[in-house]
Structure 1
């Protein structure tokens, strides 16, 4: 009897854990069970993680649905596979956890290719790029990392800007980490921080919508190559997506997406970074 009760308790515990895990998923989203293009085709749906706080790469439309460069690439990818596309909104900090816990099949989420991330995930060849800067008001005299002593710097937590700023900031600089790019941008608008580490897309937004703040790029930190991301075991999907990227570059569809969201044709993409 004691053994039976012990087994029953273990079964109950496993069932409870599974139920709690299911409740932890975004509403209406089931775990991704596919890993290969053939499995995704058989399922008839692909689940793609995208940012919704980082326009024009990843934002939302008038109906609050994902929209932007990444969403358009995902739509082309789903069309090529012949399956339904389901967007799963992600944030900078939870992108990798969502992927590794099978909440998405892959990430198309302005995800910079870095050595640290390559320890956890596979990347496709680059499908987009951006430039990151330290930026701040024009009257703040900063031209190099050493000038950041005594300066507050805002970054989005777990972003490539966070990694880069952490590497270059001198002793005496204060790094303040925020949940996402939107709250980081709001921090400099409100005066909570003096500078931010952010991309050219954020700079364009600040220049357009908050011209009176006179925010400018102080110095360039790095050029970031962005790749789609996959679980380590999903090599077949990675290979398929590399072929897909090459095709939409060659036929001009990726350049059309770049023209739509950035107002210019696509510049040549960099090769896969080597670390």
Structure 2
């Protein structure tokens, strides 16, 4: 039996918040960013402080979520724990939503984002992505009594649910401008609305919709791959080469021990089964072509 991975929410509390507020005095700024002032800490500064601030989802199982006992769990949390261990620091988890991941980096609220962050050219203009650790594409889940196998089946008066700030929103807005989108800020709100009858379909990362369909009766994956295949990677503030270089070396090292396969087996196998493991997992930042 696999040991269930648990991580209690950091109790750093007000002290951590105060420390973040002081980052401008000890970190670096990048005046070339779209933000008027971006803040970041180098690896040495993080080690000296004894704490790294990592942005994660708190409501997106099985990647990052808080369980009924108030404990952080998931694929990204498992990875974050290893980062903290190898840096020799404690972790202050900062709950983030899809739409504010870039803002949290630019304002110094977090040092790293590990929140199922898909790499795109647009985002790469505002943050620096490390090597990837997972493959992903978009998918669409719908009700079994009205399965959407092609987006042309969405009626003029029907809506598709998306999360604000995600690649699903960007893709549908660009490629299917006539489809009405019902946007939510959080995954929990989107799930609740979909379960209560809002929308004929929900477009999101295929990993998310696959898990949803497996966990909830009455739903099916009509489209398991939409658009191009992308990757998920950690992100740091634009220009923070110190932390970016450390992360890249760490990911390459972890790949030698098949760390992300173990991570998958500990945190994702229950949701997806082992058949998806080699398709979804990326080791050492190397994306293998099919």
- TM-score, normalisation: structure 2: 0.77
Which runs of at least 4 in structure 1 moved beyond 6 Å after TM superposition?
none
Whole-angstrom CA distance in 2 between matches of 1:168 and 1:81: 42
2:225 corresponds to: 220
Kindly state the Cα deviation for residue 266 of structure 1 after the two structures are TM-superposed: 4.9
2:97 corresponds to: 91
| Pairs aligned (count) | 245
Q: What stretches of structure 2 of length at least 5 have no aligned partner?
A: 1-12, 28-40
Whole-angstrom CA distance in 1 between matches of 2:257 and 2:66: 27
Q: Which protein is bigger by CA-based radius of gyration?
A: 1
1:126 corresponds to: 132
- Specify which of 158, 167, 170 is matched with residue 163 of structure 1: 170
1:47 corresponds to: 53
Kindly state the Cα deviation for residue 130 of structure 1 after the two structures are TM-superposed: 2.7
Q: Deviations over 1:54-100 (max 9, x none)?
A: 11111113432321111111110111111111111111111111111
Calculate the aligned-residue CA RMSD, in Å: 2.1
2:69 corresponds to: 63
1:152 aligns with 2:159: yes
Once the two structures are overlaid, the 10-residue window that deviates more, 150-159 or 125-134, is 125-134
1:102 is paired with a residue of what secondary structure?
coil
Closer, same or farther: CA 266–45 of 1 in aligned 2, 3 Å: farther
1:256 aligns with 2:262: yes
Q: What stretches of structure 1 of length at least 5 have no aligned partner?
A: 1-25
1:194 corresponds to: 200
Once the two structures are overlaid, the 10-residue window that deviates more, 263-272 or 143-152, is 263-272
Q: Deviations over 1:83-122 (max 9, x none)?
A: 1111111111111111111111111111000111111110
Closer, same or farther: CA 108–95 of 1 in aligned 2, 3 Å: same
1:19 corresponds to: none
Kindly state the Cα deviation for residue 165 of structure 1 after the two structures are TM-superposed: 1.7
- Within 5 Å, which residues of 2 pair with 1:30-45? 30=18, 31=20, 33=23, 34=27, 35-45=41-51
1:6 corresponds to: none
Closer, same or farther: CA 65–27 of 1 in aligned 2, 3 Å: farther
- Specify which of 111, 131, 143 is matched with residue 149 of structure 2: 143
Q: Deviations over 1:244-270 (max 9, x none)?
A: 111111112221111111223554527
